[in-house]
Structure 1
Amino acid sequence: YEGKLTKALAEPVEALLDSASEDTWPAIRKLLQRETKAAVSGLESAISTFELDEATEKELLLRLENHGRSVVESKAREEAARILIRMKDRFSTLFSRDADSMPRVWTGKEDIKAITKTARSASMKLLSTMAAIRLEEDGDNIDTTLSLALVDAARPGTTDRSIQSLDPLASSSWERVPEERTLISPVQCKSLWRQFKAETEYTVTQAIAAQEANKRNNNWLPPPWALAAMAVLGFNEFMTLLRNPFYLAVMFVVFLVGKAIWVQLDIANEFRNGFLPALLSLSTKFVPTIMNILKRLADEGAAPAAPERQRETE
C-alpha cells in the first residue's frame, strides 16, 4: 500500500508544484487527504482478516499516513532544489511568448517593462510557493514578504524609509513557519533572486536591442533637425526648380524609375537582414532589375507601333 500511495502522490504533486499558484498547497493537501484515506481504507480491509491487536493496527495505519506526508515532503524538497531552473523556465516562457503561446516578435509596440514585470512576478510566485511546506492550514506571510522585499523595493518610486532600511529577508527563518517545514530560507531566497535577475537580464537586454533595431529599420526618415536644415539649405535649389519646370520633369522621371527599382529590389526588406548582407544581395540583383525595367519600357513602346503598321499595310 505504501507503493500504491507513492505512485498516486508523486507525479500529481510534482505537477502541482510546477504550476505554482495560490491554490497549489490547498490542492496538495486535498490530494494527500484523498489518496491517504483511500490507502488507509484498503489497508484496514486487508488487515481485518488478521487477528491483530488494536495498537498494532493503529501503528500500521499511522505509518501509512506518515508515509504519504513523507512522499509529499520529499517531492517538495526535490523541486526546491531545482527552483532556480524552474524560475528561469517560467520567466522565459512568459517573456518570450504571448498570451497565445506564440513567440514574441519585438516590433517596437510591446511594453517590455510591463512584460518583464509580469514574468518576474510569476517567477517570484514560484519561489514563494516552494519556500516552505504547507501541509497544515496555518497561514504565513512568505508571499507578502517576498513581494515587499524583491518587487516593491526595486521600484524607483518607493520612498518608504522603513522598506529601504529594514531588509525582511535578512533572516534565516520565516515568521510562523517551523524550521523543519522550511525549504528555502529568506537569505537563500534573496540570493536566488539576485542570481535569477542576473541570468535573465541578458534576455531583457536582447529584447530591447531587437526592438530598437526594428524601430530604426522601419524609420527611413532623417531626424527633424536634418529635415529643417535641408529645407533651409535647399531653398535656392527649390527656387531654381520653380523657374525652370524642365528640371521638375526630369526629377519626376527619375523618381518614377527610382520607385520602380525600389519596389523591384524590395530594398526595405533586404536591409532588415543587416547592412552588409543587404548590399551583397542588392549588388547581385541591381543590373538584372535595370535590364528588366528597360525591357518592359521597350515592350510597352513597341506595342502601340504594331497596330499602326497593320493599318499602313491595309
Structure 2
Amino acid sequence: MPLLFLNEKSWGTACDPARAERAMADFVDAVRAAAAAGGSGTALVSEVDVKALEIAEGYPVNKWIGASPRNRALWQRLRGLQGRSPVRSVFPAEDAADHLEYRHDGDIVLGLGAAHIMDGIAVSLPVARQWQADSVTVERSELVEYDDSTLQVRHDTVDVRHVSAEPHLESHVDWIRKTRREGVTTGLRMWDSRADLYPHLTFLPRVKGQLSGLNPHWVLPVRRTLERLEEAVAAWDPATMAEPEWPTKVSPEGETRKRVCRFTDLDGETRTFDLHARFTPGAGRIHFRLVPEERAIRLAHIGSKIRPEL
C-alpha cells in the first residue's frame, strides 16, 4: 500500500482547455490504477487540497468539475483517494525532511521529494513532456554529519518512481507487489524476517533491541540500506574481491574511533566492527564487519552514530 505523492510542479502549466481535459482524465485513471495495484490503505497525498489547484494556467479544478457530468464523476473517483495534506503530515517524525531539499530544474519540489523520502510513488498531471515518464530525476541537497562531527551539505541526484499515465505502472508492478507482500513497516518486523529478507547479513543479538526500538522515521531508510548491503554481498566473490562493490557509501572509522566499535561477536570474541554505512535523517549508522569465509557481513550496530563513553 504505497503512498502516492502529488507533484505540485506538474500543475498550472499553460495549455489549451482541451489538452487540460485529456490530461486530467489520464491523471485520474493513472491514480486509480496505482491505488488499485497498491491495495487498501493507498492514499493520494498533496501539499494542498487538489480542488485548490489549477489544472492549467487560468483553468482551476472547480471550473473543470463544472464543465460536464463526466468531469464531476471523475472528480468523485479522485476525491475518494485524497486523504492527507500537507505532505509533512505523513512523515513519521517532524524532522524527517529538515535536513533534505529536493529540486527539479532549480525549483523546490515537495511532492517529488516526499515520494523519495517515504519510498512511495510521485504522480503528475501529464501536460508537459517532462512528466510523461515512469521515473523523474531530481537534485537532492542533504545536510550530513561526517565521522569527525563536521556538518556539510552533500549534493547528488536521485530517481523517483513516477506515474502520470497507466502504462507507467508497468515499471513499478513488481515493486508494488513486493511492498505489499513484505509489509515491513517496523524495525521488529525487519528483525523477525531477517533470514528471508537478508540471507547474506548476520546480526549480533544486540541489534534486536536496536531494531525493536527503532525510531519510526528510520524504518524506511534502514530497510533500504539493508537491502543495498544484501544486494552487494550476494554478488560478492571473496576469492577475487577484498570486499563487495558497495552501492551505498561504506567507509571505515579512523584509528581514533575504532575503539568505540568493538563488540562481542557470536563466538564470544571481541572484534572491531568499524565498517559502516550511513542512513538519514540524522546521523544514522549501520556498523558491520566482513565475514568472507561465509560470504556475509555481520552487523553489530544500527542506530545513531556511536559516541565515546565519557
| TM-score higher than 0.5 | no
Greater helix share, 1 or 2?
Answer: 1
Greater strand share, 1 or 2?
Answer: 2
Q: Which has the higher Rg, Structure 1 or Structure 2?
A: 1
TM class by shorter-chain length? under 0.3
**TM-score of the superposition, structure 2-length normalised?**
0.21
**TM-score of the superposition, structure 1-length normalised?**
0.21
